[in-house]
Amino acid sequence: MVFLFIYGMGQRYFNFPVIITQNEQYSKGIALRWTPGAHINSTFAGHYDLSAFVVLVMPIFLGALFTLKGKLTKLAIALSSGMGLWLLINSVSRTAQASYLLAISVTLLLLKKFKGLVLVGSISLIFMFMSSGLDARFTQAIKVLYEHVTTGKNFSYVPGFTVLAEDVSFTVRDIKATPVPTPAPPKVINDVSISIRYNVEWPRAIRAFTKNPILGTGYSSIDLATDNDYLRMLGETGILGFAAFALLIASIGRLLLNAFHLRDKFDDFEKSFIFGIFGGVTGTFVTAMLIDLFEASKFAIIFWLLLGCAVILVRNKLNEA
């Protein structure tokens, strides 16, 4: 986390270069620089990968903060957690920030650190809404969703406006025409990220699924992104591929549930790690509803590595019991 923070600070304040892979042009190796209003990115990945990583590991850090003993240890973990929160905020990912709040809530509730949850949740919310532009982006998303629910209209893919013809009055003899004011076009509420998902990416994945519901249309067959890992999984691997993934997760989850009746056998670090994984994985699965995560090798390697460590830890405790 410290190295990520240094690199993130370098991007924002010291003009560090970053190479991201969020589209075909950038992935050719173009070195980009941070500009005002831009995201902090993970190099050879993107800001979504960075924020997803923070969501995965922050519950472990915060669980350890309220579990481990020692002032220096707590200070080091608190500083690392603050760095992680700064990275999350500056990645400017609304999805990841909502998932982060859920993830830390799960972990701290499982560890029964209720006061810690109130403290961390309050600090996180304060800093999130103090960040420039984030409160506006959340408000915009809520307005768009509200308009969609209340009116039943689809999300606008391209920002548009209503064009009204100007009323023209013709002069008849010496009678003066009274000008009629042209009504202002109604303001169109639009959120590009939501509308692209709703109108383009998700329907494309659904069409791929309907072509071959059993096996899907093949890996990487649905363009560059779907921004919903579950729809992408169904479209590319079909029902069989989705079921295989779901059964794998269910099998791992069934084993990890043994941690609840083994919690007295874990030391403080093991306990914070295991229940941190519960929170991190929960946040990851929520994030995957709006971001493609498991296809991103940079994130997937760390995800399966941490999950594997948790499996081995619980299995060893079961063998000792």
Position 298 scores a pLDDT of 84
Q: Is the pLDDT of residue 88 over 80?
A: yes
Residue that the structure tokens 């003899």 belong to: 173
Which of 7-16, 108-117, 178-187 has the weakest average pLDDT?
178-187
Burial 7-27 (b: 16+ CB within 10 A, else e): bbbebbeeebebebbbeeebe
Alpha carbon distance 4, 56 (integer Å): 14
Q: Is the pLDDT of residue 162 over 50?
A: no
> Which one, of 199, 186, 185, 187, lies nearest residue 156 by Cα?
199
Alpha carbon distance 284, 169 (integer Å): 62
Residue 130 CB: number of other CB atoms within 10 A? 10
- Tens-place pLDDT, residues 305-319: 999 999 999 999 998
Which range has highest mean pLDDT (130-139, 158-167, 288-297, 309-318)? 309-318
Sequence spans of domains, the chain: 2-140+220-320
Which of 145-149, 229-233, 240-244, 269-273 has the weakest average pLDDT?
145-149
Alpha carbon distance 286, 95 (integer Å): 8
Residue that wins the pLDDT comparison between 5 and 19: 5
pLDDT class of 165 with cuts at 50, 70, 90: very low
Residue 226 CB: number of other CB atoms within 10 A? 25
Residue 277 CB: number of other CB atoms within 10 A? 25
3-state helix, strand, coil in the chain (%, to 5): 65, 0, 35
Which of 75-89, 107-121, 131-145 has the weakest average pLDDT?
131-145
Q: Where are the alpha helices (DSSP H) in 66-201?
A: 71-91, 94-110, 114-130, 134-151, 192-196
Q: What percent of the chain has pLDDT over 90?
A: 49
Q: What does the DSSP assignment read for 238-306?
A: HHHHHHHHHHHHHHHHHHHGGGGTSGGGS-HHHHHHHHHHHHHHHHHHHHTTTS--TT-HHHHHHHHHH
Residue that the structure tokens 């050719």 belong to: 28
> Which one, of 111, 126, 145, 128, lies nearest residue 54 by Cα?
128
> Which one, of 77, 57, 80, 58, lies nearest residue 67 by Cα?
77
Q: What does the DSSP assignment read for 123-137?
A: HHHHHHHHSTTHHHH
Mean pLDDT of 145-171: 53
Position 122 scores a pLDDT of 95
CA torsion angle 97 102 107 110 (round to 10): 170
- Residue 278, both tokens: 């519960």
Position 91 scores a pLDDT of 86
Alpha carbon distance 5, 230 (integer Å): 31
- Residue 88, both tokens: 């999350």
Widest pairwise Cα distance in the chain: 104
- Residue 231, both tokens: 């729809």
pLDDT class of 291 with cuts at 50, 70, 90: confident
Q: Is the pLDDT of residue 166 over 70?
A: no
Position 141 scores a pLDDT of 55
Q: Is the pLDDT of residue 187 over 60?
A: no
Task: Give the chain's mean pLDDT.
Answer: 83
pLDDT class of 62 with cuts at 50, 70, 90: very high
Alpha carbon distance 190, 137 (integer Å): 11
pLDDT class of 36 with cuts at 50, 70, 90: confident
Task: Return the CA Rg of the chain.
Answer: 24
Alpha carbon distance 310, 188 (integer Å): 48
pLDDT class of 242 with cuts at 50, 70, 90: very high
